[in-house]
């Protein structure tokens, strides 16, 4: 019988994974790491990872920002982002971000930026200035794996966030409580770790934090300089002190770690406190430095265990970007952004202050069909461009020269769990029939997307 999550020894869970006969470092585990620490990888990247080993692969993922081609790519993307923001439409920004995710040499940073976008969910449906939405995205990216305190201080002064939570004019005569509430409920502590009185008092600390001409300003004339009492502390606190007091609460590191564990390892069940506490202690003792905790999660025994592998439902963005990265393909990012909106995940348009629910919420009978149809439209509709050679050429390059080998290559690239034998045989028959190799393999990709296993990561 499989061990339940609450029975897992925390010391074993967070110890570094070392390959052995029962859990070898192979193609499946390398692909698993790339799906979780990014959005998937090409066959060549996975093969190289198998040769490097897990520790060296993880080092490469964490050091990607220092790679020689990364500054050039970042400059290119920054120029493109400015052009997209200048169009005045947030939809253009969605296409820009998809482009960045597909092409980035630093997928872990993009994956973390997507995490923070859901955590600090802010929507262009209300923040109608694309430049402000872009600035927030760049803020999230710059602190993605850094220390949490500068990130939460930055987001607290972020004009897009202040507009989103109705804090553009936060006056002492009428403090706006929205940001104070979300700071504790959604950003730092979680429900049950504060009172309504704490919200009212912290809202007073943020008075005078305003937005004028799309820029954050502190208006000292509108700041409540009186004593505030919240979370067991009293003093003449301003917003910065309020944030630091919130982060001093024992619940803060636990809340952040729990969200990271769920994001990288499994949608459910919720990790027990015994598993959360060691990482929470590390985060707290290390000044809320996020990178080491994320590294420990990704390098852990738990990461490569039955509890984590093939245990998450791919979001629409993860599914689409993962497909393109795995197949070394390109497509019209504007059209893809529209298609992902129809699937329920429009970048820069989270549905509410809680962001996307994720997990099983992505899956229904209708959404499964819509997701499969998106891949079908891309593959069979001729909307995928292969700058480095089409699928038959890729398969031949990688030594997959007959239909069974071609199917196995595509399954190992695109699907996390093993597929049933009859399903594999049906795919082999598709790969064996028809005149043109490109069309045969396009049909195989489309059929793979119709498998339930395709939607797991």
**DSSP string for 291-315:** HHHHHHHHTBTGGGSTTTTT-SBPP
Nearest to 453 by CA among 417, 421, 429: 417
Q: How far apart are CA 18 and CA 407, in angstroms?
A: 30
CA 103 to chain centre: 16
Residue ranges in 222-332 assigned as alpha helix (H)? 239-247, 251-264, 273-285, 290-298, 316-326
For the CA atoms of 43, 371, 77, 148, the dihedral, rounded to the nearest 10 degrees, stands at: -90
**Residues near 357 by beta carbon (within 8 Å), at least 6 away in sequence:** none
**Residues near 377 by beta carbon (within 8 Å), at least 6 away in sequence:** 339, 383
- The answer to whether 173 and 154 have CB atoms below 8 angstroms apart is no
What pLDDT score was predicted for residue 169? 79
**C-alpha gyration radius of the chain:** 23
What pLDDT score was predicted for residue 89? 80
Hey, how many other C-beta atoms are within 10 angstroms of the C-beta on 385?
12
Hey, how many other C-beta atoms are within 10 angstroms of the C-beta on 430?
20
Hey, how many other C-beta atoms are within 10 angstroms of the C-beta on 68?
7
Q: Contacts by 229-233 with C-beta closer than 8 Å and gap 24+?
A: 229/201, 230/194, 230/197, 230/198, 230/201, 230/202, 231/194, 231/198
What pLDDT score was predicted for residue 82? 86
**Average pLDDT, consecutive stretches of 10 residues, N- to C-terminus, the chain (457 residues):** 86 98 96 98 97 97 83 86 82 93 96 98 96 96 97 98 91 94 98 97 97 94 97 98 98 98 93 96 98 98 97 97 98 97 97 95 94 97 94 96 97 96 97 90 97 96
CA 317 to chain centre: 9
User: Element (H or E) spanning 216, and its range?
Assistant: strand 215-218
What pLDDT score was predicted for residue 439? 94
Length of the chain, in residues: 457
What pLDDT score was predicted for residue 68? 72
Beta partners for residue 300, in sequence order: 16
What pLDDT score was predicted for residue 63? 94
**Residues near 292 by beta carbon (within 8 Å), at least 6 away in sequence:** 282, 286
Q: How far apart are CA 386 and CA 11, in angstroms?
A: 45
- Extract the tokens encoding 429: 């028959």
What pLDDT score was predicted for residue 134? 95
What pLDDT score was predicted for residue 217? 95
């Amino acid at each position: 019988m499989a061990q339940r999550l609450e029975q897992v020894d925390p010391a074993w869970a967070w110890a570094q994974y070392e390959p052995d006969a029962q859990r070898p470092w192979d193609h499946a585990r390398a692909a698993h790491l790339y799906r979780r620490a990014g959005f998937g990888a090409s066959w060549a990247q996975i093969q190289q990872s198998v040769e490097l080993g897990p520790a060296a692969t993880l080092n490469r993922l964490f050091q990607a920002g220092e790679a020689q081609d990364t500054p050039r790519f970042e400059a290119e993307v920054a120029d493109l982002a400015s052009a997209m923001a200048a169009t005045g439409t947030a939809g253009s920004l969605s296409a820009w971000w998809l482009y960045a995710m597909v092409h980035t040499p630093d997928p872990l940073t993009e994956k973390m930026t997507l995490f923070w976008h859901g955590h600090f969910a802010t929507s262009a449906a209300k923040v109608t200035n694309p430049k402000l939405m872009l600035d927030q995205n760049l803020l999230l990216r710059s602190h993605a794996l850094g220390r949490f305190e500068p990130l939460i201080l930055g987001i607290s002064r972020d004009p897009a966030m202040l507009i989103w939570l109705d804090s553009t004019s936060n006056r002492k005569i009428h403090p706006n409580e929205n940001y104070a509430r979300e700071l504790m409920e959604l950003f730092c502590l979680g429900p049950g770790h504060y009172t309504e009185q704490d919200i009212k008092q912290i809202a007073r600390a943020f008075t005078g934090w305003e937005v004028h001409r799309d820029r954050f300003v502190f208006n000292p004339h509108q700041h409540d300089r009186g004593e505030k009492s919240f979370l067991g502390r009293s003093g003449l606190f301003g917003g910065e002190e309020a944030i630091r007091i919130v982060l001093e609460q024992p619940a803060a590191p636990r809340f952040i770690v729990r969200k990271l564990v769920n994001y990288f390892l499994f949608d459910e069940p919720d990790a027990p406190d015994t598993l959360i506490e060691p990482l929470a202690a590390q985060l707290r003792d290390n000044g809320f430095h996020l990178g080491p905790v994320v590294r420990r999660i990704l390098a852990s025994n738990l990461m490569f265990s039955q509890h984590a592998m093939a245990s998450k439902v791919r979001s629409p963005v993860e599914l689409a970007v993962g497909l393109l990265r795995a197949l070394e393909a390109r497509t019209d990012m504007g059209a893809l952004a529209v298609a992902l909106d129809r699937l329920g995940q429009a970048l820069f348009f989270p549905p509410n202050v809680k962001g996307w629910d994720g997990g099983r919420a992505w899956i229904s009978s209708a959404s499964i069909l819509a997701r499969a149809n998106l891949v079908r439209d891309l593959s069979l509709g001729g909307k995928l461009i292969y700058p480095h050679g089409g699928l038959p050429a890729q398969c031949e390059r990688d030594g997959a020269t007959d239909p069974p080998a071609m199917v196995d290559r595509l399954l190992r690239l695109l699907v996390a769990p093993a597929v049933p034998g009859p399903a594999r045989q049906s795919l082999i028959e598709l790969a064996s029939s028809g005149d043109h190799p490109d069309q045969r393999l396009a049909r195989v990709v489309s059929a793979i997307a119709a498998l339930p296993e395709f939607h797991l990561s």
